[in-house]
Structure 1
Amino acid sequence: MTEVAFVLGTEAEAVRLAPVIRACERRGVGHAVIHTGEHRAETLERAAFDRFDLSAPDITLDVGPGSHGKQTGMMLAGVERALAETDPAVAVVHGGTNSALAGAVAASKMRPEVVHLEAGIRSFDRSAPEETNRVVVDHVVDHLFATTEKARWYLVREGITELRITVTGSTAVDALESVRDRSPPESEVLGEFGLRAGGFLLVDVHRRESVDDPERFRSLLEGAARAGSARGLEVVRPVGPGARDRSEGPGPDGPVPVRTVDSREYATFVRLLSASAAVVTDSSRVQEEACILGTPCVTVRSETERSETTEVGANRLSPCDPDGVCRSVTEALDADGEWRNPYGTGGAADRILDALPVSAEREEVVR
């Protein structure tokens, strides 16, 4: 019997949902995984499913890339068919991807009760597609699981009743603990790249507005390189297929001293993030993970959906000019590095499963 269907399509969703899927396996809850194909199936399975020892998705839609409208529309039709086939009592989506939007909207028109993990995250930048997705998902689902009290407050402020909201902490803590238990030791990973703990800055940027604008991208790298040089720190950027052409090569003022390394495998990246002196990023996920791991973070954006990280002093927003990035990285390195992790101490996956309208012991739906 399928009690819970997980709809996902990106590595970030797979990583965050993996602890909940594993909890279902451990506690005997019948479940199915529907992979939309927002990211390529082989990439997602290698990066996340294999790392967490999860079975391959039960249904793969292979939607592939496309405009937001085309991709979401294809997902809506595909998820509807997949939900009809699996007939779950509960459908679970995560975050603000097109997969989450399609999954939530499709399920809301069908039998399952719909659950949104990481509900209430807000950047208040409506020009960002993921912000629109988050808001829509939060207002069509039945149950909202927030990572922090601040996220809960945002939901209440938008008129959502508190009876539908549960604060669980973040499954990112569970995922990071699992990766540390299951991956090669830090010393082995650092040795592979010739790095030492605390001896390098990590640069992880992937948004189109960061990497597709050559001038902006070069400014970002120059600022990081300048800050690293002043502290005797190498600047390292992990890249995946297709990224190297954008990050290498000389600019008008000569090459930027940033080393690219051929790894975007999640467990390896976590080791690098944990061992780095600081990280420069534009990623929502990395901001949260850096805060949890105790790594100072500089976010080259004017806003963040992870405002808890800036409030506790783990993260700084920075303009994307060389002086601004250099100044922000220097401030991050000079900070005392002690902050309270706002995302919990682990166990979020079990709290989520406890709160789902299913019984893990009797494997029957609670009506």
Structure 2
Amino acid sequence: MPETWPSDLGPVICVVGARPNFMKMAPILRAFANHAPAIPTLLLHTGQHYDRDMNDRLFEDLRLPQPDINLEVGSGSHAVQTAEVMKRFEPVLDERKPSCVLVVGDVNSTLACTLVAAKKNIPVVHVEAGLRSYDRAMPEEINRVLTDQIADLLYTTERSAADNLTREGIAAERVRFVGNVMIDSLQDNRQYARSPTTTIATGGGDPALIAGPEGYGVVTLHRPSNVDTPDVLASLLGVLREISARLPLVFALHPRTRGNIERFGLQHLIDTPRMLMLPPQGYLEMLGLMADARIVLTDSGGLQEETTALGIPCLTMRENTERPITVEQGTNTMVGRDIEAIRQQTAETLAGRGKSGRVPELWDGRAAERIATDLAGWLLDRHAAGC
């Protein structure tokens, strides 16, 4: 390994576009900076999801540098958003001449930047490769599958991901099992997590809600399959209200969910002092809330992983998961939209029979270091070979 990075080997363009990307990219950027020699990077924010207050808070919480480039694409349909990212990303590649493009996760920005880079013969590195829900109705599944087909180097979070990639014809030499960078972020930031009582007070709630001996649960709900149909949303809110009679619930309310509750006239289902509605929370606030919760009820992918790492029982209100290791080894139980299953599994957890699980292999807080070491060697070997 040389003492300094070759001056004619361009930077790694690291792409973020939506909230989950920030938690994955923060430890990667730190690992690249700490590598010997340091790996030069450019942080590019597509602006796929952009709320100024939340964006600034996430960058501050995660100790992320401000983006070197912001494409500011904004919201839109999947087609419009993907096309706009592609149009604005291509000139960046022409100007900056990167050694590779590194993308994380499965958002539209991930696929859009992958397509542009591949068309220009610039290597693509995909972090969190090989995860599959096998539900092509999910836009994220399309993004995952296509990105993995095109990427040159694929870093996986769990061993079963390599089996998925093999079935799809992806050569084993392109795949590296490195662990989960989301857990790197969790371990890096656990000491900075916000107190739940502070979070509740700041959100306008009464901290006494969670002060009782029964503790509290945390709820997030945002997927279209759960919140865009009146009957489905009503049934889920109804069972949550029922659960809250036994266990106070802190509900971080996504704007899509809040809007549909109002549009469908379902406000009465959440109008109870035992369910506290909070606005969307920052990373450190959610980390503090989850770490002290008795149970988490969610349809989020990232929370399935974080609760497994924290040892907190999680009920996932989806019919499938792209993170099966959280069920097989972790604390996650799939309950879908089955009201009786939600009711029963919550009762089991509150009776002390919730899943305790274990932390999966290589979810040890060092995944980003392994990526930095491997990627540096891969890029330097390509450079030496004249690629």
TM-score, length-normalised on structure 1? 0.90
CA distance in 2, matches of 1:346, 1:254: 40
Q: 1:189 to 1:87 in 2, by over 3 A?
A: same
Structure 1 Cα separation of the partners of residues 322 and 139 of structure 2: 13
Q: Secondary structure at the match of 1:216?
A: helix
Deviation at 1:167, TM superposition (A): 0.4
Structure 2 equivalent of residue 94 of structure 1: 104
Identify the residue that residue 281 of structure 2 maps to in structure 1.
264
1: CA distance between counterparts of 2:39 and 2:247? 48
Question: Any idea what SS the aligned residue of 1:122 has?
Answer: coil
More deviation, 182-191/47-56: 182-191
Is 1:168 paired with 2:178?
yes
Cα contact 1:79–1:106 (8 A) shared by 2: yes
Aligned residue for 1:17? 25
Q: Work out the CA distance in 1 between the residues paired with 2:267 and 2:52.
A: 38
- Spell out structure 1 runs of 4+ moving beyond 6 A: none
Structure-2 change in CA distance of 1:365 and 1:289 (3 Å): farther
Q: Work out which of the residue numbers 103, 106, 109 in structure 1 matches 2:116.
A: 106
| Residue from 290, 314, 317 that aligns with 1:297 | 314
2:222 counterpart of 1:212 = no
In the alignment, structure 2 segments of 5+ residues that lack a partner are: 1-6
Contact 1:263/1:269, CA 8 A, preserved across alignment? no
Q: CA deviation at 1:263?
A: 4.3
Deviation at 1:261, TM superposition (A): 1.6
**Displacement of 1:352:** 0.6
Change beyond 3 A, Cα 1:332–1:112: farther
Give per-residue Cα distances to partners, 1:193-223, cap 9 Å, x unaligned. 5124961111101112222223212211222
Deviations 1:298-347 (A, max 9, x none): 11111111111111251111132533321232234443542121251110
Question: Matches of 1:269 and 1:121 in 2, distance apart?
Answer: 24
| Partner Cα separation in structure 2 for residue 347 and residue 254 of structure 1 | 43
Distance (whole Å) between structure 2 residues aligned to residue 271 and residue 199 of structure 1 = 14
Q: Cα distance 1:198–1:190, how it changes in 2: closer, same or farther (>3 A)?
A: farther
Contact 1:92 1:114 (8 Å CA) reproduced: yes
Q: 1:315 aligned to 2:332?
A: yes
Counterparts of 1:67 and 1:348, CA distance in 2: 33
Q: Who is 1:340 aligned against?
A: 358
Determine whether 1:238 maps to 2:248: no
Scaled by the length of structure 2, the TM-score of the pair is: 0.86
In structure 2, C-alpha distance between the alignment counterparts of 1:53 and 1:73, rounded to whole Å: 30
- For the residues of structure 2 that align with 1:88 and 1:208, how far apart are their CA atoms? 37
Aligned to 1:58: 68
Q: Quick check: 211-220 or 319-328, which moved more?
A: 319-328
| Aligned CA-pair RMSD | 2.6
Moved more, 31-40 or 1-10: 1-10
Partner of 2:371 in structure 1? 352
Task: Tell me the SS of whatever aligns to 2:304.
Answer: helix
Counterparts of residues 13-162 of structure 1 (less than 5 Å): 13-27=21-35, 28-40=38-50, 42-43=52-53, 45-162=55-172
Query: What is the aligned residue count?
Result: 363
Q: Secondary structure at the match of 1:356?
A: helix
Alpha-carbon displacement from aligned partner over 1:78-120 (angstroms, at most 9, x marks no partner): 1212222221102100111100001111111224321000000
Higher mean alpha-carbon deviation, 42-51 vs 135-144, is at: 42-51
Asked if residue 5 in structure 1 is aligned to residue 23 in structure 2, the reply is no
Alignment of 1:163-202 (within 5 A): 163-185=173-195, 188-189=198-199, 194=207, 195-196=210-211, 199-202=215-218
Flag the 1:119–1:330 CA change in 2: closer, same or farther, 3 A: same
Give the superposition deviation at 1:24.
Answer: 1.9
Aligned letter for 1:324? A
Looking at structure 2, the residues matched to 252 and 359 of structure 1 have their Cα atoms a distance apart, in angstroms, of 54
Secondary structure of 2:32's partner?
Answer: helix
Q: Distance in 1 between matches of 2:267 and 2:99?
A: 58
Distance 1:359 1:141, change over 3 A: closer
Distance 1:112 1:167, change over 3 A: same
65 and 53 in structure 1: CA distance in 2 versus 1, 3 angstrom threshold: same
Cα separation, 2, equivalents of 1:264 and 1:236: 11
Native 8 Å contact 2:184 2:367 kept in 1? yes
What percent of counterpart residues are identical? 32
